[in-house]
Structure 1
């Protein structure tokens, strides 16, 4: 036999406020929250409802980008998280292409953030139009994988894992939006 749940009047008012908020009824939610505030609440209600939670994959799905859905061509749409941060360092084009095509070489030492920063800076200062056209890497020298300390290996391995996890998720979202099965989806 299921235990009967007895709700207090305060709990019922709080439930009605959250129900109105979830339905998008701002006036109703404000009404019930004002009543709730005057009741001298004994419940542990959150100070502010969590309105930043995504209810679908639209937030990370590039195919359903909000900026593309804007009707006004003259307005600027800012999407939280769409601009690169100071720590979002990418790879040189050679390694970026190898990662996207999942072909070698992809040494573990290129996942070191300091090496990435130095390699990008070296690449922007020294590159020429014909660099790496024949498939050989002639860019910034990367350290030998066998010369790493355990802590550096662990950090690089974690960055490797994160890079391919994010890349795989992006490939899966792009391919599932088109109805095409991705090579990475299993």
Structure 2
């Protein structure tokens, strides 16, 4: 159970940012962890550190402006399921569930969180600055909790999942309210 919570926490971090959780995972556990992770094991560790450092810096800086958020969201939307699956497998290395099932669940969870971010971006016409700092903070906390305190990380992940479901319900209500208003015209 703890491995599943760790995997969910790690994949939630990937649903918020991509490069930052990969970089923190590698720095906290050493590059030997990357040698046990699918896809990353085929790439040189110094190259991974450089790539993840640059992408983390781009994420942290560009996410503070609306145009940067829009550009980053395209990449994060495409790669969050892959990174979520990778991080989930790395966090749940001793789980009794089949690895393919962990990868699918974690990849889908990361995609859901990324879709919620995109939805709020378009609903609010850009995320406020405080929200981007909260995303950065949550990403760091979730990836640290995934490897050191899976229970709180899993709890935060379930709260975020509840928020995602609640957001979808709000968008659904807004959509039908908009349709009713425009169908009367």
Higher Rg: 1
TM-score when normalising by structure 2: 0.23
**More helix per residue: 1 or 2?**
2
